[in-house]
Amino acid sequence: MNQKIQQGTLQVDPLLADFINTQLLPELGLTEADFWQGFESIIDQFTSRNTALLAVRDKLQAQIDEWHTSHGETPFDSIAYVQFLRDSGYLVEEGDDFSICTGNVDPEIATMAGPQLVVPVKNARFALNAANARWGSLFDAIYGSDVIGEVDGCERTQGYNPLRGQKVIAFAKSFLDRACPLINASHDAARTYRVISGQLLVEMDEGVTTLVDSDQLRGYLGEASAPESLLIVNNGLHIEILIDRDSEIGSTDPAGVKDINLEAALTAIQDCEDSVAAVDAEDKVEVYRNWLGLMRGDLAESFSKKGSQFTRTLNPDREFQDVSGGTITLPGRSLLLIRNVGHLMRNSAIFDKHGEEIYEGILDAVITSSIASIDIRKSNNTRNSRTGSIYIVKPKMHGPAEVQFTCDMFTAVEEFLGLQSDTLKIGIMDEERRTSVNLKECIRAAKSRVAFINTGFLDRTGDEIHTSMQAGVMVPKAEMKSTPWISAYEDRNVDIGLACGLSGKAQIGKGMWAMPDLMARMLDEKIAHPMAGANTAWVPSPTAAVLHAMHYHYVNVFDRQLELAQRPVAKLDDILTLPIIKDPSAMSAESVQLDLDNNCQSILGYVVRWVDQGIGCSKVPDIHNIELMEDRATLRISSQHIANWLLHNICTSQQVRESLERMAQIVDQQNASDSLYHKMAPDFENSIAFQAACDLIFDGVNQPNGYTEPRLHARRRELKAMQGSSIS
């Protein structure tokens, strides 16, 4: 246990104190005395309010539990239920219509539409990959994924497979035909691309053609008569056609096209929350140090690949020759947002004057904003926001009072750092039911700050299960997506966002594609997000960002938003339709067991890496060995689902325990190649990770709003203490 350092009345872990005093404060021009005094004032001002808001959560949940148990013997009365929610204060009165007035929002958020990467900022290499995912190779994304089937000689081989390559080129040319079509011709038939008098001329065997929309050509590199690349724009997104007849790929193409670069991840969320395991000062400093490197522009990560050493840094901006003369400069990096933690957890990095751990949300607000202010002061090597804004995504807020609390805290942080009002923009994660049903008033509370609303259907499902825990038996997990509440929730989020004037001013976002290896399926299905009116949606990798970017060329999101704004707002009553099985006895024993096994395997596969290795987000193979992107949101669903079935006697504790033990052996086998992995079987009682999984399930009913953090943090800290790691 580290001896704390006294800073005013605060007791600060020396690791955090050293980071702030020696690395951060020199960038800010603040003295230690001024910084710690201001920080202490914010802690004093907001701690009791934070505690009171959590008490309201518990009170409302207890009232909902009591209502369901007292009405359990009668048919569900939706009218009475909604009235109860209003009377209890769970549903607040909706005010007059309004439009947000957020200012100084970067175009990547306000007026452009494209993919959004989410990445754990604790991992420097991932953080850099995400920041650099603004541009990506379409050829590489297609060639290296399952978009092209590995049949008829088109397998992915160790070297370049020209048969697969030809399929890739044909696929990419068909994309060009949709995104930037030629007059009466296909890009596949192009023989030469030239820029003459500011116009694109494409020579074919049959003659010369040009773009249907000549304004799509923005610029080029090289000689106009023999360009090395062409810069084309469609729906606000850029496409770069690279030409090199002497390259391995270009030599096989009649027009010498060697690649097509797409502007892909316009924005990237650097995550401190669900995808990160950060339980103490040691972990938090690692998170903050990477964020500092991103904001200063000097983050670098060295690694080995195929026997060679590489160092990854942030990409520079990109320059092209404008067709009308001059130079075009385009951002080379994604616009970065930072996701802070929610209001629930405390962290031992700092103890307040009462000897209590401070709330981690307050810690994140002060430190991540302080770091991001380097960008606002323009004292960095690369720019993030070009409009002078700091974008903070705030998860797991319950209703407008909690949004107001966050906005008030942001005001205090701005005053502390000497920033202009509303510099700190808020991203509202619509992932708790009390936020969903009160979304208009949540947005109103942040109307001068809101730059982002996003449906998080995974956490939202976990909260749906926990909120209605006592109401009855939840439908099987796989059926949850087809229940009425979830489609109403997704539609209503867009409806309310458009009604509150977010279009052209802020992002309306949709959730994650959780199957990172199934890119062909993603291409088929994820176009639904821009069609739903979302000008961004989450992707798990740079490859997925490039592929999902294609959808924003096929769908003009802002035109689509104009269409959707004319439809009736999705009904609140539909959101409050509970996903309860009408006749649980109709479920077969086999189907119950299959669901249990699937949930247990998912829980164990994620928890064992979280607790044992501190990995907050990972690809976890399911029982069919399909790798799924798992984070705490998916863990919340699985653990709450089993807890619900246990509560309502769909399964027994012994049955769940047996499933956990069987699945632990499968998870052990799936991780056999990991040299850092510690087996759970057969010594289950001494596996802290296995015990953490048991905690989440068998005490799931009692977890605050079904969150997994309290149990995970406790077990991770237990393991770190056993290993002798630095921990407070």
**Residue positions annotated with a catalytic role:** 339, 631
Question: How many Å apart are CA 35 and CA 340, to the nearest integer?
Answer: 20
Longest dimension (CA), the chain: 82
| DSSP letters for 106-155 | -HHHHT----EEEEETTSHHHHHHHHTTTEEEHHHHHHTSTTS-S-TT--
Query: What 3 state SS string does 24-63 have?
Result: HHHHHCCCHHHHHHHHHHHHHHHHHHHHHHHHHHHHHHHH
List, in sequence order, every beta strand (DSSP E) within 178-307.
192-196, 199-204, 207-209, 217-223, 226-234, 237-243, 257-263, 267-271, 301-305
Reduce the DSSP state of residue 79 to 3 states and report it. helix
Asked whether the beta carbons of 126 and 526 are under 8 A apart, the reply is no
Whether the link from the prior residue into 682 is cis, omega within 30° of 0, is: yes
CA dihedral of 219, 221, 225, 230, whole degrees rounded to 10: -50
Could you tell me which residues are beta bridge partners of residue 394?
A: 428
Backbone angle region of 207, left / alpha / beta, with phi > 0 → left and psi within -120 to 50 → alpha: left
Tokens 């193979």 identify what position? 621
Question: How many Å apart are CA 295 and CA 316, to the nearest integer?
Answer: 14
Question: How many Å apart are CA 710 and CA 716, to the nearest integer?
Answer: 10
Pairing type for strands 536-539 and 116-120 reads parallel
Helices 589-613, 632-647: crossing angle, 10 deg rounding: 140
Asked whether the beta carbons of 728 and 3 are under 8 A apart, the reply is no
Asked whether the beta carbons of 689 and 608 are under 8 A apart, the reply is yes
Distance between first and last Cα of the chain: 5
Question: How many Å apart are CA 602 and CA 40, to the nearest integer?
Answer: 41
Q: In the structure encoding, which two tokens stand for residue 428, read together?
A: 């509202």
Pairing type for strands 627-630 and 424-430 reads unpaired
Buried residues in 215-228 as b, exposed as e (16+ CB within 10 A): ebbbbbbeeeeebe
Residue 75 CA: distances (Å) to CA of 72, 109, 471, 485: 8, 46, 11, 19
